[in-house]
Every structure is written in structure tokens, then in C-alpha cells.
Amino acid sequence: MPEDESDLAYVLRHLPAELPVTVIGAGSNLIVRDGGVAGVVIRLGRALGEIRIEEGHRVVAGTAALDAHVARAAQKASIAGLAFFSGIPGSIGGALRMNGGAYGGETKDVLIEARGVDRQGNVRTFSNAEMGFSYRHSGVGDDVIFTSATFAGRAGDPDAIAGEMAEIKAKRETTQPRNRTGGSTFKNPPGHNAWKLIDEAGCRGLIVGGAQVSELHCNFLINTGDATATDIETLGETVRARVKAQSGIELEWEIKRIGASPA
């Protein structure tokens, strides 16, 4: 768990090049396979979670900062345009890596620039255009570990922004399961809703071991109590196979899966 950006750069610079490196943030959109993760795991913690407000309605956030905390800081500073972050249960690092979005907003809409450290320990800065954003994807290589982001908002009324965030919270609570879940499991294929394809394939409520397709929202897989990573991934692959057979559409995982399957 690096103390700061310089500490992270030092570690990456001195690690053997052949040693695998895996980085995690809040872990809210992640499956860690039951066989564990080889090499070095870097956890971005509180030291990289600072949020500060700058002139011009800008918000600078460390990549360990939770998306919801960034939204709240912007609201308190009367900065509009970042409220959608309150509906994403993850950290800014994940938002940069996956172009996180919800409720009409995406990271690409508000990002000015991102900073990160590459595998050689070099600190690099990426403009919005250089991020190569597309739907739930960034084109920056996986060898870069993001450390901070600068976002542009606009002048807003804090009460109105708070109201917008309250609406987002209410929508989440009524349409998404509150169980243990990794959030949206699959990306929406062009022109389709993943949940609808899953429902039409007869997968609502489907169970594998301790994992279940949510009855409330079919694009959420939930841990009913004792699910293994294998249970969850097997359930997801079963859903993908049934959707492909039903509609001919191949769902793409949105949840990131890391590590090895058990021997």
C-alpha cells in the first residue's frame, strides 16, 4: 500500500520486470478468483484518497477516493456536473480505468487530465483525449497505475445538486439489489440492455452454489452467503451461454476478474 505517488514510483522502478503486478482500489467491481493472485498486489489506500477543490470549478481527486465522496465534495463546493459519481460504488481509479458512468454521466464527460505511474516508475500525465475513452473502457495500457484525476464541473446551487444526488440514491435503492454484489456484471451491448437479454434467456433468479442472478435486477449477481469466486464466475458464464443461445448476442463482462482458478 504506497504512501504516495513517489513511493509507488519507487516500488515499480525496483520490482523485477518479470514479476506480475496487480492493482486494486475499492474492489467493488472485482472478482478475485479462489486460487489467489500471483506476484505483487498494490492496494491504493487512504494516502491516495485526498480530494481538493481548485479555482475554475475543478476537483482534483486521488484515485483511492471513493466516487461518492468526490460527488459530495463537489456538491459542498457548489460544483455541478459531478453528481453522477454518487451513483457509482467504486473509486476514482476504477472510474478512470473503466470510464465509469451512471445516471446520464460518464467520466469522459468531466475529466480534464489524469496522472499515473507506469511499470518503469515514470510519472505520466494523460489528457482526456489521450485516455482513449469508450464505453466502460480506457485505452491507457494496463501497465499504468493511475494516481490522481482532475475534473471540470460548473457553477451550481448546492441544494439543487444535493437534490439530484438524493434522486440518484433513491433510484439505486429501488432498482438495484442491496445484497453483496459486484454491481453491474455485463456491459450493455450496442442497442440492447444486458438485464433484458438475461431476463429473456430465463436467467432471473438462476442459482449456482452460493451465487444467484438477482430477482430485482438481472444484471446483478449476488452472493447469498457462502458463494465462492468460482460460483459467481460459473454463474456468469452460464448466463452468457444462455443469452448467446437465446439471442445470438455475446455479453461482455463488466466486472473485472483477476487471479487464478483453484488447482
| Active-site annotation, residues | 136, 184, 254
CB 150 within 8 A of CB 113: yes
Tell me how crowded residue 190 is: count the other CB atoms within 10 A of its CB: 7
Amino acid letter, 48: L
The residues pairing with 113 across neighbouring beta strands, listed in sequence order, are: 127, 150
Per-residue burial over 12-51, b if 16 or more Cβ lie within 10 Å, else e, is: beebeeeeeeebbbbebbbbbbeeeeeeebbebeeebbeb
Please choose, from the candidates 28, 24, 25, the residue with its C-alpha nearest in 3D space to the C-alpha of residue 181.
28
CB 254 within 8 A of CB 187: yes
User: What are the DSSP E strand ranges found in the chain?
Assistant: 21-24, 30-32, 40-43, 51-54, 58-62, 79-80, 101-102, 105-106, 111-117, 123-127, 145-152, 154-155, 180-184, 207-208, 211-213, 220-223, 256-258
Specify burial of residue 55 (Cβ count, 10 A radius: 0-12, 13-18, 19+): exposed
